[in-house]
Amino acid sequence: MRIERMTVGVFQVNTWLITDESSGLSALVDTGEGEDVRQQLEARSGLNLAHILLTHAHLDHAGALADIQAAFPHATTWLPEDEKPLFDTLPMQGTMFGMPHLNRPCGRIDHWVHGGDTVQMGELTFTFVPTPGHTPGQGCWWVGDDLFVGDTLFAGSIGRTDFPMSNPATAVESLRRLMELPGHLNVHSGHGPSTTLEKELKTNPFLGYLRREKGIEGPKGLTWAPGT
């Protein structure tokens, strides 16, 4: 398996190209909102884009879907079904965030995804793990030792829950369930550097409530623990 990151657009969102080397098939996790990812993909010779796996429907993650689908019409697109209300706002999401020039068409969803659903690509199996809160249906794509988490969790932070359709209480529960997965899993976030679940459980300022529940000592001098 080969993982390549493309960080693009005004939000500097991380998109991910995962390639199964046995079959030569690739999957794209999230799209950015501009033309950057499509142009980078078109510049690759021999790319066989089989799937577009969306973590959630914010414009920086799904806004370029229609543009990429026009260039790669055979790729099938997967989005959590609970994201549909947010996905439907893509033509006006730019306006909602004060950037009407970033309004985008919705593109096409081939498969509405639910927890535990899998996507097979050559020797790779992607499993969908729901982690709503930042958005109504956001989730993570888990393959091997790697988790593509969108805006669920960042190195040293968590996804904002003050947006329309966000739910802070749901995010707290989602992070609790996410942290039940094996700690060695690599976390590839929608923004910023990659990390691991174990490192975040031990050090992330926003996960103090989980450390207390699990009896894990946090960083020295860190007394602020939201969610407790």
Within 13 Å and on the Cβ side, how many CA atoms surround 212? 12
Query: Which of the ranges 74-82, 120-128, 144-152, 199-207 carries the binding residues for Zn ion, by CB under 5 A?
Result: 144-152
Nearest CB to Zn ion, comparing residues 13 and 50: 13
Chain residues 187-206 in contact with Zn ion, contact rule CB under 5 A: none
Q: 114 CB contacts (<8 Å, ≥6 apart)?
A: 80, 81, 128, 130
Q: Exactly one of 38, 58, 104, 211 binds Zn ion (CB under 5 A); which one?
A: 58
Q: Which residue is nearest to Zn ion (CB)?
A: 58
Nearest CB to Zn ion, comparing residues 150 and 208: 150
Nearest CB to Zn ion, comparing residues 33 and 67: 33
CB of 161 to Zn ion, least distance (A): 10
Query: Which of the ranges 64-72, 115-123, 151-159, 213-221 carries the binding residues for Zn ion, by CB under 5 A?
Result: 151-159
Per-residue x/- marks for Zn ion, 95-134, CB under 5 A?
----------------------------------------
Residue 83 sits in the site that holds Zn ion (CB under 5 A): no
Per-residue x/- marks for Zn ion, 10-29, CB under 5 A?
--------------------
CB of 134 to Zn ion, least distance (A): 6
Q: 187 CB contacts (<8 Å, ≥6 apart)?
A: 147, 149, 153, 155, 194, 195, 196, 197, 200
Total residues contacting Zn ion by CB under 5 A comes to: 2
Nearest CB to Zn ion, comparing residues 82 and 151: 151
Residue 33 sits in the site that holds Zn ion (CB under 5 A): no
Residue 30 sits in the site that holds Zn ion (CB under 5 A): no
Residue 151 sits in the site that holds Zn ion (CB under 5 A): yes
| Contacts with Zn ion, residue ranges (CB under 5 A) | 58, 151
